[in-house]
Amino acid sequence: MPPIQTTIKCPSCGTPQPALLEQVIDVGRDPGSKTRLLQGRLNFFQCPGCGFQGMLASPLVYHDPLKELLLTFVPPELRLSPIEQEKILGGLTQQVLNALPPEQRKGYLLRPQAVLTAQGLMERVLEADGITKEMLEEQRAKSKLVRDLVDAEPDARPALIQEQDGRIDSDVLALIGAIARSAAGKEDKAFAEKVLKARDDVYRLSTAGKRAQTQKEEMDAAARDLEVLGREFNLDALVKLVSSAPSLDRVTALAALAWQVMDYAFFQRFTETLEKTVGSERERLTAIRDRALEEVQRVQQAMQSEMNLTAGVLQSILQAPDLDAAIEEHLPECSDLFFAVLEANLESARRNKQENAIQRLEEVKAKLLAALENSLPPELRFVRDLLGAENDEQAQKLLAERPAEVTDNFVAALRATVKDLEPTPQEPLAARMKRLLDLAEKQLAMAKFTGK
Ligand SMILES: [Zn+2]
């Protein structure tokens, strides 16, 4: 449903401001709306007067036809009477119903479930995706642990790490790493230093941190080894490299990187070498071979099941009687790997001159690309068009030509993208996005000023 243009009172300074409100989130019609809700970008408002920013309180109806989910939410701070609530929610629910063809109007639509808080709404939506409250709570507990680790006094931190060692896992490490990367690009140098120090302490002192550090060092070392080998690659050199690995961790790293060349011939040659040895050397080489075999098989299996899944998706699309419906259904599964598989199929059909197959594959490809394009929220599509412009002048011209699309939501989307790029300020894209944001903000402010 299109957002409605309305006037609200800024929750902070009370000045009336124009704003766009989305009150019906219909995932069936606009898959991007769910993401906007979960990322807190839905009904995001920034007051041009006082700079306040946040989510506007508004009655919402959330509908996901695939999950048969119909939720309603009225923020308590709106202080609406039960009759007023009923009236507003009734109207919004009716919009959902009206948008559905009669055959899709099922029983769950008659029993909307009310949620009492904005957080409750997100929890219900995530729960339908199989993300339970317990998982969310665990995630929250981990975030809190990371905050505690960052905020701890430097002298007290080692003791805290020791005390919480059992709870510090790869998630916690990833989280603290992400905070450190994001802080590194920001103005607040003192904070960035504090996070960096915290991250180093956690890696240096926790069990999981030490383990990750070792694995990373082994990966780096394995990559260097293979690079040297790459200059004059042959089977004997690879066997020599793997058999002289200083640790089983290095063997795992080598296999993870070079699994494609660690084939039957490699293991055969390795076994020949092994059989010429005796005693502890033979034991050492056997352990290395077993570890390498295990890792290569693990990677191959993961690759294979990914390929099978992908090929299965392609087959079901190719055979679907209703191609458009099939594409819509499988769109979320169409990864880069999927397109690689599709291209490979096309390639083979062309080689074998299978005209029917070529035609069907081409049709699927064209429709998929168009559907992917359309699945982008309109704001992001506009951002992409702007990035496609040759230079800032062209971009400015595009902005001027499409004033109706330069909305608060659009500027909010741009701002979010600029924020995402903050950790990499040196990238040309980051600077470019920032200039686009400036241009768009200027144009929007101007439009508001002139009342257009
Ligand atoms: Zn304000």
**Could you give the dihedral angle defined by the CA atoms of residues 328, 330, 332 and 337, in that order, rounded to the nearest 10 degrees?**
-130
30 Cα: distance to centroid of ligand 1 (angstroms):
30
Q: What is the reported pLDDT for 426?
A: 63
Burial bucket for residue 252 (CB in 10 Å: 0-12, 13-18, 19+): buried
For residue 19, how far is its CA from the centre of ligand 1 (angstroms)?
12
Classify residue 59 as left (phi > 0), alpha (psi -120 to 50) or beta: beta
The per-residue pLDDT for 425 is 62
The three-class DSSP label of residue 11 is coil
Per-residue pLDDT reduced to its tens digit, 89-107: 999 998 888 888 888 888 8
- Answer yes or no: pTM beyond 0.75: no
Residues lining ion ligand 1 (Cβ < 5 A) are 10, 12-13, 47, 49-50, 52
Q: Say what the pLDDT of residue 452 is.
A: 45
pLDDT at position 3 is 77
Q: What are the domain boundaries of the chain?
A: 4-131, 141-205, 218-290, 320-375, 378-450
Which residues are bridge partners to 450 per DSSP? none
- Centre of ligand 1 to C-alpha 55, Å, is 13
Query: Between residues 183 and 249, which one has the greater pLDDT?
Result: 249
What pLDDT does residue 450 have?
A: 66
Helix segments in 74-117, DSSP class H: 82-98
Query: Residue 45 Cα, ligand 1 centroid: separation in angstroms?
Result: 10
Report how far ligand 1's centroid is from the alpha carbon of 12 (Å).
5
Q: 124: closest CA among 55, 61, 41, 44?
A: 61
How far does the centroid of ligand 1 lie from the alpha carbon of residue 34, in Å? 27
Instruction: Measure 57 CA to ligand 1 centroid, in angstroms.
Output: 15
Q: Residue 420 pLDDT more than 80?
A: no
Task: Please state the rounded mean pLDDT for residues 60-79.
Answer: 91
Gap from CA of 358 to ligand 1 centroid (Å): 58
CA 8 to ligand 1 centroid distance, Å: 10
Do β-strands 16-21 and 4-9 pair in parallel, antiparallel, or remain unpaired? antiparallel
